[in-house]
Each structure stands twice: as C-alpha cells, then as structure tokens.
Amino acid sequence: MVALAPSNRLRRTWWSDAVEACGVTGYTVYNKTLLPVVFDSISEDCRHLKSAVQLWDVACERQIQIEGPDADALMQRLTPRDLSRVKPQKCAYVPICDVNGGMLNDPVALQPRPGVWWISLADSDLAYWVEGVAMGGGYAVSVSEPDVQILGLQGPLANDLAAEVFGEETRDIPFFGFKWLPFGSGEVLVARSGYSKQGGFEIYVTDQALAMPLWDHLMDKGQPFDIRAGCPNAIERIEGGMLSYGNDMTRQDTPFEAGLGRYVQRFDCLGGAALRAHQARRQIVPIQLDSAPPTCDREWSLMSGNQRVGRVRSAAWSDEFQCGVAIGMVDMSCAAGDRLVCVTQAGEIAAEIKERFWR
C-alpha cells in the first residue's frame, strides 16, 4: 500500500498523536481530515469491535453551524426531511439534495442549543452549498464551521463505560438522542449515535482543553472493558448496511435510490420538485459474494449474463458470516435472490442479491 504523505492541507485532529501512539496503520482522508481506518487488520478490528468497546477519532465529521432568525427556515429549505417532527435533544439524519434531487451529503443535524443548528457532515464541502443558498435566498443567518471534534465510543460495552464515565443517566439517552453532560471543567454533548451497529455514543467536544483528558480518561476507565483505539470498520458497516457517501451513493443518486426514501417527507425544499416527480432508476441492495473480494478501490460492475445491471463500490470479507459482503446499486428490475456476477480487478466473483443486510 502507498503511504499517505503528510500535509497541512490534510487536517490532523486533537487525537491524531494519540491515535498514532496506539498504532494506526491506515488512514483515509475525509473532509480534508485524517480518519483512521485500520489498526491491526480490518478483520481483527472488526472482531474486537463486536466484543468490547472502541474509542474512535471521528473528528472528520466536521460541523456546519447555522444560527440567526432564519436558521430554521434555511435548514428546512435544505432538506426534504420534515424537521418540525424532530424533537428537542434529538439528532436527525437529513439527506441534502441539489435541484435535481441528487445527494450532496447525508449528514446528521441537531440543535445543540435552541436556535442553533449543527450539520454533522459526511465527506463534502457542504458549507459552500449552505452559504450559497443562504446568500441567494437572503436568509438572515450566520453560517460557520466551529471547531467541534467528535470521539466515537462504539461496541457492546460502550453503554457500561459511558455510564461509569458520564453517569447512569446515559443509559436513558434514546437512540439518536443527546444530552450535554459535565466533563472536567466543562461539558460535552453525548449522543447515542455512531457509524456501527454495535451501539454506543458520539461525544461532541467543543473545547480542545478537554480533548486529550477525555481520551485518556475513557482509555483508563475502559481497561476493564478491553477498550482499544478503533475506527469505523469496513466489514461491520457493510454487514449492517450502513451507507458511505461517496462510496455507495453519490450526487448521481437520489435519496430514493439510496434507500433513504423514508426521509423524503416534504417537497418544499431544494430539489423538492425533482423528488416529487422522481422515478427511481436503481436501488441499494445487499450483495453476497461467494468468495473473498480483492480491495474494493474502484467500481465493480454487476452483470446478469451480458447485461450490466448495477455496481458495487463497497465490499469486504466477513469472518462472522463466512462470505463476501457488499453494497450494490442495481436496476429496479433486480430482486432478492437474483444471481449475478461481480467483475473485480482480480476476476469475476459469483454474487447474489440478498433480502436484507446481515445485521
């Protein structure tokens, strides 16, 4: 594998030194920020994630902050999700679309304080879009990118560790709920969310002075829970059908095509007219591969006989399920049970569309 050459253009985080001291072996770049993606190996990292608790540096999930008299109106203009149904102290997954309904980002939005929105980003410079829209529409808002950095605490033992560190009340935080909780001399926002199906929290840190004390404290208190530095895991997230923007869906795809139709609740937003008239051309499906795939670093075609019926852009070998697991985007005519061939750079692999993801 080729090294990632360091550069100031690629932001280090408050925890990059700690992550490197813990032996990170693979980075990706996400929102121009270093994101660890491998420590031991993705299969060993996966096994551990499913059995214990991991501390993740996901500071690459940058925040856009919107505040001002028109903040609510602008937020609703940006997404087809009906934000009036989102309760206080809850996060909301909000597809953001261009005028054609193409996905520009699939962030999580929340109101850390009344009147203030944070958009917690997937990998694109959505701030440019938000500001362009705000400016063009004359919205009375201020848009900024505060330096909020997020620690993930993921795994089946995350609940017990969070209860020990932040108090028993963390057990009562519902899925996608959040609370501000004291830590050290300040407070952090603790949300029950994260990019795994193992359960856990994302901890939004707004003060760098708390960042390493929090890391060290969680590592210390986590020893009995076999805590390790970890990261979003390619195997586990595919098994769980968790999509990756830029991999599984891009701007060429609509929320309907990305399997996110349930979040299209209003059409008075940007892209709303296109979404209302939309006929999905394709669909996200789980793909089982009969043998271990090579590294999925380029798009693979899914063939039905001589016909290309779709693509795969995320794939891995699952030790737990003893098959290749992949996320496919296939024609609407395809259905669960269809046998296909996946054409990789290392040859063809027999594939099947599954009814549901593995977790």
Binding site residues, a copy of itself, CB under 8 A: 1-10, 12, 20, 24-30, 32, 37-38, 98-99, 104, 123-126, 128-133, 135-137, 244-247, 270, 295-299, 313-314
Residue placing its CB nearer to a copy of itself in the complex, 5 or 277: 5
Strands 54-57 and 228-230: parallel
Query: What's the Cα-to-Cα distance from 6 to each of 1, 12, 124, 259, 330, rounded to whole Å?
Result: 15, 9, 20, 36, 37
Residues 34-37: contacts with CB under 8 Å, at least 24 apart: 34/4, 34/10, 34/60, 35/60, 35/231, 35/232, 36/229, 36/230, 36/231, 37/231, 37/232, 37/234
Residue placing its CB nearer to a copy of itself in the complex, 30 or 201: 30
CB of 104 to a copy of itself, least distance (A): 7
CB of 252 to a copy of itself, least distance (A): 11
CB of 296 to a copy of itself, least distance (A): 7
H helix intervals, 222-358? 234-239, 272-276
CB of 93 to a copy of itself, least distance (A): 19
CB of 10 to a copy of itself, least distance (A): 7
Residue placing its CB nearer to a copy of itself in the complex, 124 or 159: 124
Do the beta carbons of residue 269 and residue 77 sit within 8 Å?
yes
Query: What's the Cα-to-Cα distance from 79 to each of 96, 196, 292, 307, 331, rounded to whole Å?
Result: 5, 24, 38, 35, 26
Can you tell me the distance from the alpha carbon of 290 to that of 341, in angstroms, rounded to the nearest whole number? 10
CB of 234 to a copy of itself, least distance (A): 8
CB of 241 to a copy of itself, least distance (A): 17
Degrees to nearest 5, angle at CA 125 with 2 and 208 = 80
Question: Phi/psi of residue 267, each to 5°?
Answer: -120, 10
Residue placing its CB nearer to a copy of itself in the complex, 162 or 248: 248
Residue 187 annotated in ligand binding: no
Give every CB contact of residue 23 below 8 A, 6+ residues apart in sequence: 39, 40, 229
Residue placing its CB nearer to a copy of itself in the complex, 121 or 189: 121
Residue placing its CB nearer to a copy of itself in the complex, 142 or 291: 142
Residue placing its CB nearer to a copy of itself in the complex, 30 or 263: 30
Residues annotated in a binding site for substrate? 202
Residues annotated in a binding site? 202
